[in-house]
Chain A
Amino acid sequence: MAESAVAQRRRERATESWREFASNRGGLIGLILLVIVVALALLAPVLVPLSTLDVTQVTAMPNEPPSGQHLLGTDPFGRDVLGTLLWGSRISLLVGFTATLMSMTIGTTVGMLAGHFGGWVQQVLLRVIDFFIVIPSLVLAITLSTVLERGVWTIIIAIGVTSWAGTARIVRSQTLTIESRPYVERATALGAGDGHLLWWHVLPSVMPLVLANTTLAVGSAIISESTLSFLGLGDPTVFSWGSMLKSALDTGSATAGFWWFVLPPGVAIVLVVLCFTLVGRALEAVVNPALRGR
């Protein structure tokens, strides 16, 4: 009976959180758009077979302006811009999600440990966090992706390894806040050990924050991916929004005024990042009522 009451309460709380989230119009619109974008990315192979984007098989002229056949025109190689855009979304989202997952895992672990333990463990971890916060992460990511083998995974690692420090900082301060609460003292007096405290008291309080932060971080990771690809550090064998913009710069599309090749990838990035930001802010407000309306 108690269990079902608990389950019911959990459901009620979930419903309430959802209602709180949905009351934020920006967050809701962002979420809907993201669902559409993810669906399109997953359906790309069906909608635009890869063969139609093969340079050796294309029939269209390069840099064709938008027309009925090519809604967004063609790129300098005669490929359909809309098709490459669709395929590019797969890489952007994949890198965005995976790199964020990596950086969140590192950040949460390091943050919790740095907050929970004192002494030299804390000293060392704090220094490392400080270092990674201060250091220009793009420069480090560039370094890593130059040295490592080109590829999607290199980009993921380069972003994941350089962007966790902010999360670690937030998680650490949340850990400190939680651990200064009397209920942790009470649990310690009950005889709880490190594992019990971290698992039962710290982690549940940190997770919502991490979740909201994750959503925001996916946006940043997507920007980082496009930046690295733009600098020519991406995987040359796959399409990505960043590499599209790189070829736009390299082939002089911008100065030549081929707007249909310069605008769409950028607009796609802005749209997706903005959606993640809006969803993240809405989640933050659900998680932290003090932020509501900010």
Chain B
Amino acid sequence: MSDAVPSALAPHEAVTPSDEPIRGASLGRYLATKALGAAISLLMVVVLGFFAFRILPGDPVLSMTRGRMVTPEEIARLRREFGLDQPLVVQFGRYLADLTRGDLGTSFFYNAPVSRLIAERAGSTLLLTGTAAVISIVLGLWLGQRAAWKRNSGFDKATTGLALVFWSVPTFWLGLLLLMAFGGPLPTGGMITPGLNATGFAYVVDVARHLVLPVAAMVAVTYAQYLMTMRSSMLEEMTADYLTTARAKGLNEDGVRTKHAVPNALLPTVTIIFMTLGHLIGGAITVETVFSWPGLGYLTYQALSAPDLPLLQGTFVVFSSIVVIMNFLADLVYRVLDPRLKAA
């Protein structure tokens, strides 16, 4: 027994099945499960989008014509127009068939195909929510991990305190305040200055100027949630044993934080971020309304004030589908981020 290790190692290890590592599911299986889940959710969106507007106690035509003088003939005509005189099954079949062709019905208010209206406005919503999301994620995560690392410090108390206040602010009200405060120097409505007809760089600047206030309103309310999530998952990681290992190796505190704690704390946070994408869209509706931003949110607002049920149904289905698909993508991203989910 002089040098190195005993020879009888390998065979022994084989006799203890418990000493096996954990193996993740295979990629194919993982994909299949997640895809199936997303498909079921999409189907539920489609079904809900249909039934919410038909069999709930309210009569869609009555709620559409609420507050207006309509003759019984007009009501009958509307019913026919929407196919509401048909049996429910037939209606549902027609709805599904239309959906597969990308037909979401005809807007009552605009008298135009709902799908076209949505397609026209999707870009500007993406610009607004995308910009707001990126800024609030970066801001939230960065502040969150710093605050956790210096837990109970002045910095921590100030950042979390501010975050809690912002978290309690209704997005639309913050929008109104910004409107009041900066309404002079910055544009308060729309995406471009009417009549400016700017092109190229000037156009970009014009749009960017219009973006400032709505993005600020959305960021202020959204970053807080990311900050709190990042902070608490970071606090969770801060007691982990592998940080002691890193310190023992001689790493300084910055290294321990950025190379070890943050990558681990990011994982649960990323899940929460994707899971709350729906909230971002909720914020988009009110912010676009306040700033008359020509996007899907403003379209929804117009649809519900009309009320224009085919349009509302269309925005519901599209919004929900976008979120479901984003979540599916998130699951894929997550698998790349967390090696524990990867196939062994």
Q: Quick check: A227 and B165 within 8 Å, CB to CB?
A: no
Across-interface contacts of B180 in A (CB, < 8 A): 254-255, 257, 259, 262
Given A136-B323, A147-B60, A148-B56, also A142-B300 (CB < 8 A): yes
Assembled-state Cα–Cα distance A146/B49 (Å):
13
The 6 closest A-B pairs by CB, nearest first: A138-B282, A136-B278, A273-B168, A266-B173, A274-B168, A136-B281
Assembled-state Cα–Cα distance A203/B320 (Å):
33
Q: Quick check: A138 and B173 within 8 Å, CB to CB?
A: no
Which chain A residues numbered 109 to 136 have a C-beta less than 8 Å away from chain B? 127, 130-131, 133-136
Most buried by A among B180, B277, B281: B180
Assembled-state Cα–Cα distance A262/B37 (Å):
44
Assembled-state Cα–Cα distance A135/B281 (Å):
10
B interface bracket (residues with beta carbon within 8 Å of A): 35 or more
Confirm or deny: B232 has a beta carbon within 8 angstroms of a beta carbon on chain A.
yes
Q: Quick check: A266 and B285 within 8 Å, CB to CB?
A: no
Q: Quick check: B285 and A245 within 8 Å, CB to CB?
A: no
Confirm or deny: A248 has a beta carbon within 8 angstroms of a beta carbon on chain B.
yes
Which of A127, A140, A223, A266 contacts B316, CB < 8 Å? A140
Assembled-state Cα–Cα distance A264/B275 (Å):
33
Confirm or deny: A219 has a beta carbon within 8 angstroms of a beta carbon on chain B.
yes
Across-interface contacts of A226 in B (CB, < 8 A): 170, 173
Known: A257-B180, A262-B180. 19 other contacts (CB 8 A): A127-B40, A131-B44, A134-B277, A134-B327, A135-B45, A136-B323, A139-B281, A139-B316, A140-B316, A142-B316, A143-B316, A144-B52, A146-B312, A232-B304, A249-B176, A262-B177, A266-B170, A269-B173, A270-B168
Q: Quick check: B173 and A142 within 8 Å, CB to CB?
A: no
Confirm or deny: B252 has a beta carbon within 8 angstroms of a beta carbon on chain A.
no
Assembled-state Cα–Cα distance A149/B40 (Å):
30
Assembled-state Cα–Cα distance A278/B180 (Å):
29
Q: Quick check: A148 and B58 within 8 Å, CB to CB?
A: yes
Residue of A nearest to B278 (CB): A136
Q: Quick check: B169 and A270 within 8 Å, CB to CB?
A: yes
Assembled-state Cα–Cα distance A233/B305 (Å):
8
Which chain A residues numbered 241 to 269 have a C-beta less than 8 Å away from chain B? 242, 245, 248-249, 254-255, 257, 259, 262-263, 265-266, 269
Q: Quick check: A139 and B279 within 8 Å, CB to CB?
A: no
Q: Quick check: B188 and A139 within 8 Å, CB to CB?
A: no
Minimum distance in angstroms from A253 CB to a CB of chain B: 9
Q: Quick check: A134 and B309 within 8 Å, CB to CB?
A: no
Most buried by A among B63, B172, B179, B281: B172
Assembled-state Cα–Cα distance A37/B213 (Å):
32
Confirm or deny: B122 has a beta carbon within 8 angstroms of a beta carbon on chain A.
no
Which of A127, A137, A269 contacts B170, CB < 8 Å? A269
Minimum distance in angstroms from A133 CB to a CB of chain B: 6
Which of B58, B60, B232, B286 contacts A230, CB < 8 Å? B286
Assembled-state Cα–Cα distance A148/B324 (Å):
25
Minimum distance in angstroms from B34 CB to a CB of chain A: 11
Q: Quick check: B41 and A270 within 8 Å, CB to CB?
A: no
Confirm or deny: B133 has a beta carbon within 8 angstroms of a beta carbon on chain A.
no
Assembled-state Cα–Cα distance A278/B160 (Å):
11
B residues with a Cβ closer than 8 A to A are 37, 40-41, 44-45, 48, 52-53, 56-58, 60, 63, 66, 151-152, 164-165, 167-174, 176-177, 179-180, 183, 188, 231-232, 235, 275, 277-279, 281-282, 285-286, 289-290, 300-301, 304-305, 307, 309, 312-313, 315-316, 319-320, 323-324, 327
Across-interface contacts of A230 in B (CB, < 8 A): 170, 172, 286
Across-interface contacts of B324 in A (CB, < 8 A): 134-135
Which of A139, A146, A257, A262 contacts B285, CB < 8 Å? A139
Q: Quick check: A146 and B307 within 8 Å, CB to CB?
A: yes
Which of A135, A144, A254 contacts B323, CB < 8 Å? A135
Classify the secondary structure of B's interface with A: helix
Residue of B nearest to A223 (CB): B170
Residue of A nearest to B236 (CB): A290
Confirm or deny: A187 has a beta carbon within 8 angstroms of a beta carbon on chain B.
no
Assembled-state Cα–Cα distance A65/B48 (Å):
47
Q: Quick check: B56 and A147 within 8 Å, CB to CB?
A: yes
Minimum distance in angstroms from B26 CB to a CB of chain A: 21
Across-interface contacts of B313 in A (CB, < 8 A): 143
Which of B176, B188, B279, B289 contacts A262, CB < 8 Å? B176
Minimum distance in angstroms from A36 CB to a CB of chain B: 17
Which of A138, A147, A273, A291 contacts B53, CB < 8 Å? A147
Most buried by A among B56, B188, B282, B327: B282
Across-interface contacts of B37 in A (CB, < 8 A): 127, 130
Confirm or deny: A294 has a beta carbon within 8 angstroms of a beta carbon on chain B.
yes
28 contacts between A and B (CB under 8 A): A131-B40, A134-B41, A134-B323, A136-B277, A136-B282, A137-B279, A138-B279, A139-B281, A139-B285, A139-B300, A140-B52, A140-B316, A143-B316, A144-B52, A146-B304, A146-B307, A148-B57, A149-B58, A227-B171, A249-B290, A254-B179, A254-B180, A254-B183, A255-B183, A257-B180, A266-B170, A269-B168, A294-B151
Across-interface contacts of A134 in B (CB, < 8 A): 41, 275, 277-278, 323-324, 327
Assembled-state Cα–Cα distance A255/B313 (Å):
32
Q: Quick check: B286 and A294 within 8 Å, CB to CB?
A: no
Most buried by B among A133, A248, A278, A294: A294
Minimum distance in angstroms from B71 CB to a CB of chain A: 22
Q: Quick check: B165 and A274 within 8 Å, CB to CB?
A: yes
Across-interface contacts of B58 in A (CB, < 8 A): 147-149
